Structure 1
Amino acid sequence: MEAYFTSPTLGRVYGTVITENHEIYNFIGRNVLINITLCRQLTGWVCQKDQWLHDFQIAEIGLQIDTVEKWLSAQ
């Protein structure tokens, strides 16, 4: 799936999100060289490794993943 997050200095950073088990998600940047590993926890979305992203940027990607997964499960 395609997703993005907003950077105050770079603008929108676009990427592809892939998952194999719907537990760990990888965001691979297209217009910025970045690879982010995310996972969903009870408290919300978190990065698996230390990243330079702010919580609101992680949540922005997570919300897009949640929206697509809800849409796919309704199909």
Structure 2
Amino acid sequence: MHRRMLGNGYCARPVEMDCHFESICESCTFFVTTIEFRPTLERQRDEAAAKGQVAREQIFNGLLGRLDEQAG
């Protein structure tokens, strides 16, 4: 599988598909993350919470929840 490294996971979008949205990766269906990125995701969630960015905080909570499900 082709994967492009991101700051908090990987993009699994097929190479032949173009992407015009370089800043919405966490809500993209091709976004993949792993336990190694948990500290980064937690910091991003905490920053969103501190800034009152509820929707962004929920995205990171969802990603962290999926990591917990995968680990359990």
TM range (shorter): 0.3 to 0.5
Of structures 1 and 2, the larger Rg is shown by 2
Determine which structure has the larger strand proportion and give its number. 1
Q: TM-score when scaled to structure 2?
A: 0.39
